[in-house]
Structure 1
Amino acid sequence: MPQRILLVYTKAGGGHYAMAQTLHRLLTQLEPEAEVRLFNFFDVGPRWIAQAIQDGYNFAVNKQRWLFTVFQAFYQTRPAIQTFARVLGMRLAPAINAYLEEFRPDKIIYCYPVNHGFRRLPYVRRHQPKTLTVVTDIFSPHLYWFVDTKDHYVVASPEAYSIARRHRIPPENLHYFQTLIDPKFNQPLPPAEAERLRQLWGLHQPYTVLVTGGGAGLKISFRLVKELVGLEGINVVVVCGYNQRLYQQLTAFKEKHRLENLVVFGFTQQMYELINLANVVVSKAGPATIAEVLSLHKDLIICDYVWPQEHGNVELVRHEKLGYYIRHPKKIAAKIQELKTRPPERKTLQLKNEIERLAEFILQL
């Protein structure tokens, strides 16, 4: 009988959805007869809950960071996390359970920390599907990933393994798979394809700066662009994600000043190609972005991070000299000018990407 595998995610942060998408593709390639579904559990509940959690997360992180900081300060203990989960479960649980009864998965893979909530659902308690939580915060995961000490977890770094053990996850429930990013980042873009894309996107200068900040773009993107476009001999590529206001602002700025060296993207599925063409990437401290940039041996400048889960990412980059942490646009531009004119000081990190081994592991559960 073909396996039924459910990949659970949300869009509260881009890394959860990206992980679920990559696993979905790999699982269906490895076992075409398996039925593998992506499931954003907010889609089956009241719309206001999705707006409050997903849209609220993105708004707080990118617009009102203090709100997110207050929420995280509350979210520091197991009782607080479990109480919040129960309150949400009162409205979401019936619809989620109905979906599970309809699909009847024999494996549930969590790409978002909701295993402790799903465990109480009637379908899960009755049928006991095999479960696995893939921790998408690579270097410094929060306690809410490890509330359920009975579940099995995949972690992608020694730092995350230590944090999981500190939160009382037994070693037999921990599975270590390095890095966990899309396998296409294992090797660079072929030179002919890279040249074709440079011509297609009008990247005619010898040095390219990529500015990206996930789905919402970087808060400092516009100020940074104004500093960068004046540097000689560089292309400035900005990914705005879903931030239409930023996209329109930069597009108008490009047209007003006739800036041929400024290329603006909205939401794009071509991050692999863009990172390949870049010499340096300016981004926030998302774990997947850091791993993708370092896998392709590009210079990295982190200009922002979300406390507390991305703080460890910044410290790792700084301590290991894998990149730079610079917040101010003028100082970022100065560092880019310096990198452009002399060899980088950073170390080269050889990352082993084990996402395909993880997909095989899931199929063998």
Structure 2
Amino acid sequence: MLLKCCEDFNYFSPDSSLQRLMVRKPMRVYLIYGSGGGGHKASANALMDVLLQRNPDWDIRTINISPAVGAEGGDKLYNLCMEKNWSLIIPLLHKAATFFSPFVQPLIKKRMRDMWSSMPEADVIISLVPFLNPSIIETQPGAIHFTLITDFTHTEGHPWIQDHRQHILCGTEECYEQGLQLGLPVEKVTRTSGMVISPRFYQSLDRAELKEISMQLDFRVNSITSLVFFGGVPPTYATRRLVVALLRKGHNVIVICGNNEGLLQDLCKLKLKYPELCLYLKNFTRDVSTYMQLSDVVVGKPGPGAISEALVSRRPVIMLAEGGKVMDQERSVMQWVEANNLGVSATRAQEAAEVSKERIMDMQRAVDALPENRAVFEVAEIVETAAKNRLREKIRTEKLAHEVEIDLDLRDNNALLT
């Protein structure tokens, strides 16, 4: 009888806590972005690339939350406004989103729960979107939550800091101070060395490679090379005016047309009509870093992502805001760049084209003196630390549960023996 009881009792039975612990699922991380503009998705992809490189066994997913919460139509309208340069409409869209947000929160939460129900439970969720953070936290209470702010500051038009449960990751000192002023505890506010951008921007080409590529483009050797870059959805007519103004001033011009096929076709016609122009056109590309390194200056909008990419590439910037129209979340970018002599602003294409080579060289010295932005690697380390702490806590909890299970089994077997 004693022998039979000992044979039946198995400390490592298939359903035991310890064995479940030994065969753990991979750490699961979700990166949440929206489809309005391209900056949120670019930062999400950048962080995913670094996390996967360092943790190839993790399950890391980028999730476009816009369709799930019914915001896809609004994002398409926002992108259309960007393409058409209808900058006066964009603040109205932000105000409408802010006004209606409290009324639609119950529906948004329901849709989020439906989305989560079709997916495995997350260990860590990193939000790269404004407006939705309280709902994301409430519908996934079991996960560790971070909000990676992709703007220089929290603004009324782009509200990021919304809930005391958020752990915000800030790329600027002003944003860090805002987090504290809005009541978040200091341990929930983390300052990084800049904005999160793709690790590709940290890979420098040597002079010989740059010279060879420049020769292939058939650019003039002693002319200024300007990269025209407005992000994923550049405005058609504003970009064309800028390109023409730069070409008239004798610049070599590289244009990233992004997802704006109409702009690409329009500029292709210009190139065909005047083949002698030093003009190189590119549609959407993940190799923006190479074109930045080929250029002397980056000309475009004062977007936080595009400006940060230029500065990590060690290139000064010319920020074009036609008619002085600047989006709420871009105003602080422009002010910071100008205050540190890293670039200049222009309200007309002609004004942007007239920035002299001497002025560009002066700004270049300020850019070269900037401290290094390592934010994407810093955020990866923060996420890894949180994930490892969560794993340790789970192991501790499951070990305790396993010890209780063994104790109960021993008591049951002792009862049988007696």
- Check the 8 A contact 1:45/1:95 in 2, yes or no: no
2:288 aligned with 1:271: yes
One of 155, 158, 172 as aligned partner of 1:142:
155
Identity level (%)? 25
Aligned counterpart for 2:114 among listed residues 89, 95, 113? 95
Answer yes or no: is 1:53 the counterpart of 2:74.
yes
Unaligned stretches of 5+ in structure 1? none
What is the total number of aligned residue pairs between the two structures? 349
Cα gap change, 1:230 to 1:61, in 2 (>3 Å): closer
Q: Name the counterpart of 1:229.
A: 247
Match of 2:338 among 318, 322, 326: 318
In 2, distance between residues paired with 1:170 and 1:342?
42
Assess if the C-alpha contact under 8 Å between 1:214 and 1:241 holds in 2.
yes
Is 1:351 aligned with 2:368?
no
Q: How large is the RMSD of aligned CA atoms in angstroms?
A: 2.3
Task: Find out whether 1:40 has 2:40 as its counterpart.
Answer: no
Matched, 1:25 2:49: yes
Amino acid at match of 1:245: G
How many Å separate the matches in 1 of 2:201 and 2:378? 15
Give yes or no for contact 1:299–1:344 (8 Å, CA) kept in 2. no
What code does the residue aligned with 1:266 have?
N
Separation in 2, partners of 1:341, 1:39? 42
The CA distance in 1 between the partners of 2:217 and 2:154, in whole Å, is 37
- The structure with more radius of gyration: 2
Matched, 1:168 2:188: no
CA distance in structure 1 between the partners assigned to 2:290 and 2:358 by the alignment = 21
Distance in structure 1 (CA, Å) of the matches to 2:42 and 2:363: 31
| Match for residue 381 of structure 2 among 332, 339, 360 | 360
Superposed CA deviations along residues 315-335 of structure 1, whole A, max 9, x for unmatched, are 111222211000211111111
1:244 paired with 2:244, answer: no
Structure 2 length normalisation: TM-score? 0.77
TM-score under structure 1 length normalisation: 0.88
Contact 1:295 1:350 in 2 (8 A): no
Q: Which amino acid aligns with 1:222?
A: R
Say if 2:301 and 2:319, in contact at 8 Å, map to a contact too. yes
Structure 2 counterpart of 1:181: 197
Contact 1:30–1:360 under 8 Å retained in 2? no
SS at match of 2:328: coil
Are positions 1:212 and 2:225 aligned together? no
CA contact (8 A) 2:245 2:353 kept: yes
1:159 alignment counterpart: 174
Matches of 2:155 and 2:372, distance apart in 1: 23
CA shift, 1:270, in A, is 1.2
Equivalent residue letter for 2:311? L
SS of equivalent residue, structure 2 residue 165: coil
Q: Distance in 1 between matches of 2:114 and 2:219?
A: 49
- Once residues 270 and 118 of structure 1 are traced to their aligned partners in structure 2, the CA distance between those partners, rounded to angstroms, is 32
Tell me, yes or no, if the aligned pair for 1:300 and 1:323 is still in contact at 8 Å: yes
8 Å contact 1:186–1:353 — kept in the other structure? no
Task: Note closer, same or farther for the CA distance 1:181–1:341 as it changes in structure 2 (3 Å cut).
Answer: closer
- Aligned equivalents of 1:276 and 1:8: distance in 2? 30
| Alignment check: 8 A CA contact 2:69 2:108 kept | no
Change (3 A) 1:172 1:80: farther
* SS of residue paired to 2:88: helix
- Alignment CA distance shift 1:69-1:267 (3 Å): same
